[in-house]
Structure 1
């Protein structure tokens, strides 16, 4: 019995060590991404940052892409940061109120604005063709479809193309933040790196959503 107990403890200890190492490796992806950008993201750089042998990338994750995908999934706005807000919205069976939609996109704007790593991930996603980046994009679309199942009926008797409007809104948020944070320049005279600029964009997001809702036919 004593030998069995010791064996279980050793096994448990190894599993804990493995999980701790995997966490370190995932965290190392973000550190390398921040220091070197996505072009510097390779197994050697990640292993050095994590203080482990690079062979563990394949041992624990199967491939470098799988490791990077694990990290990005944990930072993604739609899959991770907004998960609680989206889960709450998905409980609404009779439509989504205007303030919830405005709040969601204002939250997206602020989250992207505050997260340099997320900005780099978004730049990567539109700069390079990678299977795991496409996979994550497809997963975002699936989340979006769940929201549209609820909101589409609210606009079906109106002349509002809510999908088109929200596509432009989301794309605009991405571009404004990446433009303002990458080179710090103004856009339409608005500086996103100032408090006033951030407030103006948040208020404009609410105005766009409000205009769409006001044109719906009950």
Structure 2
């Protein structure tokens, strides 16, 4: 990816995160795997986590040139977005109800979450 094309990189990162949200929302087995990963000390889950981190690292390295010498730490923003995706979905799928007055069991609530992902990534690249 060309470091001089942040709008293209921004679009790629946005789509990856939005697709992660959609996938995680629809895949109950993946939800259970993440619950297992964060709640048990398991060599298998650690190896899966490390593999996922390695894949994510490659994507984050693509953002490094854009954020070099800027006050935005995109890795921290990405961590909060990914953690937020996991937590809001797990919370609402396993406990039901609303989260911050959003019902992500509805298309409207899901669209609000996807829009927020796009806005946050956009703010990071704009700053």
TM-score tier by shorter-chain length is over 0.9
Question: Where does 1:130-169 land on structure 2 (aligned, <5 Å)?
Answer: 130-169=42-81
Question: Where does 1:78-157 land on structure 2 (aligned, <5 Å)?
Answer: 92-94=1-3, 97-157=9-69
- 1:137-190: CA deviations, max 9, x gaps? 111111122112221111012100000010000000000100111111111100
Partner residue of 1:206? Answer: 118
- Count of residues in correspondence between the two structures: 124
TM-score by length of 1: 0.55
- 1:64-117: CA deviations, max 9, x gaps? xxxxxxxxxxxxxxxxxxxxxxxxxxxx14365211111110000000101111
Moved over 4 A (4+): none
- For structure 1, the 5+ residue unaligned runs are 1-91
Partner residue of 1:49? Answer: none
* C-alpha distance in 1 between matches for 2:85 and 2:25: 9
- For structure 2, the 5+ residue unaligned runs are none
